[in-house]
């Protein structure tokens, strides 16, 4: 968890505004309430995608503002308002329903307006509809923030500028920002700096040690137990579909992890670390086991530990082997049956 502390400190040095820690998808696989508990005194707010995540944070005593980033959850609207969760508003119709529900409950709601500046997901894309909303605000649904999301913060600079300019056109209609929190920058945009930082930033992947590298430290490591060793002669085969053929006399270690635990179903690709040495994956990763070549790894015994993610093997490495991104690798480990948090 010290790496998490380091990373939020790194973000703090790059912005003077508020930090909204994005903890959706179980804090990118790291454990939502444990991450939030660690960060509650270091950030202003948290952002989640689903109502269940917001309720879990409240259940575990997280009193910070919590912003819903996902779609308008009308079925849980009453609970969200009662739990003081900040709603995500993408249309006038959603705003009206939130205000009506809040008035009926006698509990004022608060919300952030989402602007679709070019991502083409949630949010106002019609500036006239947005302007109409500003003219019909209800005291039972206070607008406490306005935000957008960049599609190319770590890529196409021209489209990034287009989105930023579009967002600023929407901001220009506000009669006065006052206490309204304006935020747009995700992790990659934080590193761009400049006016996109506004009043606050939303950091997700950078908190967990990934994204454009600026010295952040990976927070998660994943290990598996060595179950047994198998001696193979040159030409012998192993695994489903006999996908691996030994090209020499070698020793394979069977590990207690597989794709059911969130590791990708690789075939003769990638490596794990045992005794600080790279051990290539042999054959096909199974549901709850995998085999690796430990011939050159020194003294390897059943009961020993293999590092699947950590020192010597990053989420970016695994993403490269499996044709995906580090976000996908990290969130896939949501299924891990046992977690240990080192303070």
Q: Catalytic amino acids?
A: 24, 240
Q: How many C-beta atoms surround the C-beta of residue 213 within 10 A? A: 10
Q: Please state the φ and ψ torsions of residue 24, each to the nearest 5 degrees.
A: -65, 165
CB atoms within 10 A of CB 343: 6
Close Cβ partners of 310 (under 8 Å, ≥ 6 residues apart) = 218, 220, 221, 222, 223, 273
Distances (CA, A) of 22 to 29, 49, 142, 186, 271: 12, 9, 22, 9, 30
Helical axes 32-39 vs 2-14, angle rounded to 10°: 60
Chain position carrying tokens 């997700």: 204
Nearest partner of 27 among 239, 220, 214, judged by Cα: 220
In whole angstroms, give the CA distance from residue 207 to residue 11. 8
Q: Is 173 helix (H, G, I), strand (E, B) or coil?
A: coil
Distance of CA 332 to the CA centre of its chain: 11
Looking at residue 106, the DSSP 8-state letter turns out to be: T
């Amino acid at each position: 968890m010290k790496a998490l502390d380091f990373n939020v400190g790194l973000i703090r040095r790059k912005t003077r505004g508020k930090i909204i820690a994005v903890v959706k998808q179980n804090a990118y696989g790291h454990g939502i309430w444990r991450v939030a508990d660690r960060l509650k005194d270091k950030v202003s707010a948290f952002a989640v995608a689903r109502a269940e995540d917001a309720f879990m944070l409240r259940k575990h005593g997280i009193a910070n503002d919590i912003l819903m980033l996902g779609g308008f959850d009308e079925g849980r609207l009453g609970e969200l308002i009662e739990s003081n969760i900040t709603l995500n508003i993408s249309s006038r119709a959603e705003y009206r329903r939130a205000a009506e529900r809040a008035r009926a409950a006698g509990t004022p709601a608060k919300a952030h307006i989402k602007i679709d500046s070019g991502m083409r997901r949630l949010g106002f894309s019609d500036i006239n509809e947005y302007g109409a909303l500003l003219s019909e605000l209800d005291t039972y649904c206070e607008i406490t923030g306005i935000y957008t999301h960049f599609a190319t913060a770590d890529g196409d600079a021209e489209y990034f500028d287009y989105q930023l300019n579009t967002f600023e056109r929407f901001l220009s209609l506000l009669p006065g920002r006052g206490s309204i929190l304006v935020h747009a920058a995700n992790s990659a945009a934080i590193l761009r700096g400049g006016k996109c930082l506004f009043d606050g930033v939303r950091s997700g992947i950078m908190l967990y040690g990934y994204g454009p590298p600026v010295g952040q430290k990976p927070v998660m490591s994943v290990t598996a137990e060595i179950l047994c060793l198998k001696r193979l002669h040159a030409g012998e085969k192993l695994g489903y579909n006999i996908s691996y053929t030994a090209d020499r006399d070698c020793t394979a270690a069977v590990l207690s992890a597989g794709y059911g635990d969130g590791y990708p179903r690789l075939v003769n690709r990638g490596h794990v670390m045992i005794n600080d040495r790279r051990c290539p994956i042999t054959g096909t990763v199974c549901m709850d086991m995998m085999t690796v070549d430990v011939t050159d790894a020194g003294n390897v015994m059943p009961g020993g530990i293999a590092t699947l993610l950590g020192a010597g093997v990053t989420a970016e490495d695994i993403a490269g082997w499996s044709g995906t991104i580090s976000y996908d690798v990290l969130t896939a480990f949501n299924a891990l049956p046992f977690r240990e948090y080192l303070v």
